[in-house]
Structure 1
């Protein structure tokens, strides 16, 4: 509950948002989980049962410990809590071991570690200026940013359905960004560029790394989506880029959840998040030009027919046996177009936008 009391200065609404998303995460506990569930269980067993010298050499399971030492020590600490839930999960030879207590521990460990992410979001909200403050709470940039980060669709399905520990790691990233925006000697080092210029470049670098092969996992798109959320509530142009990036980037995560029971869950959660993102940012920048042109609108609407074809039409065609990879191919190519387009718009904005506090004439 500590995560829900940190926002006293911001108001009860932040606590409500954090509590609400935590309850949603609890409801997702029984859902499908990927092989990463067994990966992390095995790492718990390795770090708990073996001396440090054997951590990176133990190969009883195919899921050997291959993350940096920081994460190995993280698993070691978790293992000392796990032993109170089910000691058998810490046996290296219990391959593919699963029990109700193991499931609860693994799921709740991810939820608990999100406390750092919640705190980081709270700190990031302090960095948002109040120039565009609406009369209603739901129109305030800080409220919108909190929803975009705390209820991020991609982070929900990757961590709390697919199963990983990205939340607290992204929390460290957002906390670092928040500290750059806060007055200090360190921020002065970035004075010529400004912290927002730094954030824009950071987002561009993360997106470039994702596009050009630095990381092959789909979840890496979140490295760009999350910091882009901070920019989206400050400027209409950035809001437009964010909406294109987050919609296509999140849809590209759909193949991670390929089981039938999770189909309505992922569709509903993405629809809710996407509709909120578009409507809230349109309201925030209603006095400026539309966030999408006709081409962008047509492209984003095309995701609907694409989903219908891949999930509801293709399985009943003769191509399902001959070309089983076709839906994944179509999804990847279609999303690649949108992400590339967002990257190009962000790249152009980095080059031509004036520094914060200066006009284009200056």
Structure 2
């Protein structure tokens, strides 16, 4: 006879099944051009020889993910052929038969099993008091914040992508580090980098953590860390794992002399500073400041309007453009700004690591630093900071405070991805459910430590309500909407960038304060 399911397993299964049911209900919802992107990749990898994968350009949505993800698509294509073979024809651009839609949606739902398993492993890493009711258990709160994450639901299961599967690999890697299985964690992260190269954002945090806390440090019986000389064996083992994964991934293309072609697809710097819809980062503020200065300069007759560059940055196009007043930003400048924004956190972790919690702080800072200052950042990349921060939010009041601000602002910034009328009530309902749960559960978890947010922070977050009303209901009634079709996107991006920037600063202050406290405690 099978053993009865434990109470903990019961609620986790219920959460998993519940969110999977919601995902199934969204199968026939709106899907973006990313749906065609992945259908085209299925066709490319299934119908063409390996040598043509990164050269094929029948569709404008060419293959631009690392080789392991291409092999992932190749594997899916051999299941897709049983649904509808026509979806695997490269020439069938924008092919969306009902069977194709069903297969692609189900492929995201099924591969989310990796995410569900990773969340389960992360919950095991939390320490919690027995006897607490369910809503007071950090593991239950964390599982809900991750499994029912609003951003993942709309980006993967409406807009369409495979972020759940990818974040599952990331969270599983983090869980392995919590369990002191560092080589396995490094293996998983190496695989992740070769599935989607955007995770290079957080690679510096992984590199410094593994060197400092695995190659140069040993764990004492009391759980503390102690410096020791470099373990050559550990360094070689770590390097062998990383190099092996990259060799398997890129090796065939190197042998065919196609490495440069693959890299040109992975890093297309000619796409411009900002994505078609500005991510809520520092460049959104920079762009709007440039626009305001140019308007002021023309009114004061300090600038000639005929000599100013065309304002293509607000045209919704993916391209390079020139700023009017402020210096035009180059890819090298964004790289320098990104490195400067994350170096203090990396230095702090190297100098005085705070275990896996310190590593997680550094991961979030690297994700946010790259999001704030990176080149051609996609708005969806904010999830790379929100999801790891969820693990910290259930363990610390200060991290919970930052999480509430960042998740609310970051998730709201994703609203423009779903612009059709039928999805409007759905995205508002899902956002409200997630946000209400996040605020109520974290408030209860830290109820004995005062309020989580101050009045200014509350006022800022409440400002999202009139912003949404203006963008969805007031703006469409304006006579000048045709002249400025992307004005709601601009408003959303600029307003949300303030919250993301504030969260980034708060997180940095928290890390630096912790470092100073540790140093003082050691001195005493």
TM-score (structure 1 length as normaliser): 0.94
Superposed CA deviations along residues 106-140 of structure 1, whole A, max 9, x for unmatched, are: 00000000000000000000111115x67311210
Deviation at 1:357, TM superposition (A): 8.9
Match of 2:126 in 1: 128
1:228 aligns with 2:389: yes
Within 5 Å, give how 1:25-44 maps onto structure 2: 25-44=23-42
1:183 aligns with 2:180: yes
Deviation at 1:41, TM superposition (A): 0.6
Q: Distance in 2 between matches of 1:346 and 1:154?
A: 21
My pick for the range that moved more, 264-273 or 9-18, is 9-18
Match of 1:160 in 2: 157
Match of 1:330 in 2: 491
Match of 1:139 in 2: 136
Q: Confirm or deny: 8 A CA contact 1:116 1:172 kept in the other structure.
A: yes
1:199 aligns with 2:360: yes
Deviation at 1:237, TM superposition (A): 0.4
My pick for the range that moved more, 178-187 or 77-86, is 178-187
For the pair shown, which has the larger CA radius of gyration, 1 or 2? 2
Match of 1:341 in 2: 502
Deviation at 1:61, TM superposition (A): 1.2
Structure 2 vs 1, CA of residues 134 and 336 (structure 1 numbering), >3 Å: closer, same or farther?
Answer: farther
Q: Distance in 2 between matches of 1:130 and 1:355?
A: 27
SS of corresponding position for 2:127:
coil
Gaps of 5+ in 1: none
Q: Confirm or deny: 8 A CA contact 1:134 1:140 kept in the other structure.
A: no
1:350 aligns with 2:348: no
SS of corresponding position for 2:448:
coil
1:106 aligns with 2:104: yes
Deviation at 1:183, TM superposition (A): 3.4
Q: Distance in 1 between matches of 2:73 and 2:182?
A: 35
Match of 1:263 in 2: 424
Q: Distance in 2 between matches of 1:99 and 1:8?
A: 43
Match of 2:467 in 1: 306
Q: Distance in 1 between matches of 2:518 and 2:494?
A: 39
Q: Distance in 2 between matches of 1:247 and 1:312?
A: 21
Q: Distance in 2 between matches of 1:359 and 1:242?
A: 27
Deviation at 1:185, TM superposition (A): 6.8
Q: Distance in 2 between matches of 1:306 and 1:174?
A: 33
Superposed CA deviations along residues 178-201 of structure 1, whole A, max 9, x for unmatched, are: 111113476852635111001111
Q: Confirm or deny: 8 A CA contact 1:197 1:355 kept in the other structure.
A: no
Structure 2 vs 1, CA of residues 141 and 121 (structure 1 numbering), >3 Å: closer, same or farther?
Answer: same
Gaps of 5+ in 2: 184-209, 218-224, 226-351
Runs of 4+ in 1 over 4 A off after TM superposition: 184-188, 354-362
Q: Distance in 2 between matches of 1:75 and 1:185?
A: 28
Deviation at 1:53, TM superposition (A): 0.6
Superposed CA deviations along residues 52-84 of structure 1, whole A, max 9, x for unmatched, are: 011111111111111110111011000000000
Q: Distance in 2 between matches of 1:167 and 1:268?
A: 21
Q: Distance in 2 between matches of 1:134 and 1:324?
A: 55
Q: Distance in 2 between matches of 1:337 and 1:223?
A: 18
Q: Distance in 2 between matches of 1:268 and 1:356?
A: 42
Match of 2:78 in 1: 80
My pick for the range that moved more, 217-226 or 350-359, is 350-359
Q: Confirm or deny: 8 A CA contact 2:176 2:182 kept in the other structure.
A: no
Match of 1:97 in 2: 95
Structure 2 vs 1, CA of residues 142 and 224 (structure 1 numbering), >3 Å: closer, same or farther?
Answer: same
Return the match for 1:169 from 163, 166, 184: 166
Q: Confirm or deny: 8 A CA contact 1:60 1:93 kept in the other structure.
A: yes
Q: CA RMSD in A?
A: 2.0
1:245 aligns with 2:406: yes
1:283 aligns with 2:281: no
Deviation at 1:9, TM superposition (A): 8.2
Q: Distance in 1 between matches of 2:157 and 2:376?
A: 21
Superposed CA deviations along residues 194-228 of structure 1, whole A, max 9, x for unmatched, are: 11001111111111110112551111000000000
Q: Confirm or deny: 8 A CA contact 1:86 1:101 kept in the other structure.
A: yes
Deviation at 1:360, TM superposition (A): 5.7
Deviation at 1:11, TM superposition (A): 2.1
Q: Confirm or deny: 8 A CA contact 1:354 1:360 kept in the other structure.
A: no
Q: Distance in 1 between matches of 2:37 and 2:182?
A: 42
Q: Confirm or deny: 8 A CA contact 2:150 2:431 kept in the other structure.
A: yes
Q: Confirm or deny: 8 A CA contact 1:56 1:66 kept in the other structure.
A: yes
Q: Distance in 2 between matches of 1:292 and 1:356?
A: 23
Deviation at 1:10, TM superposition (A): 3.4
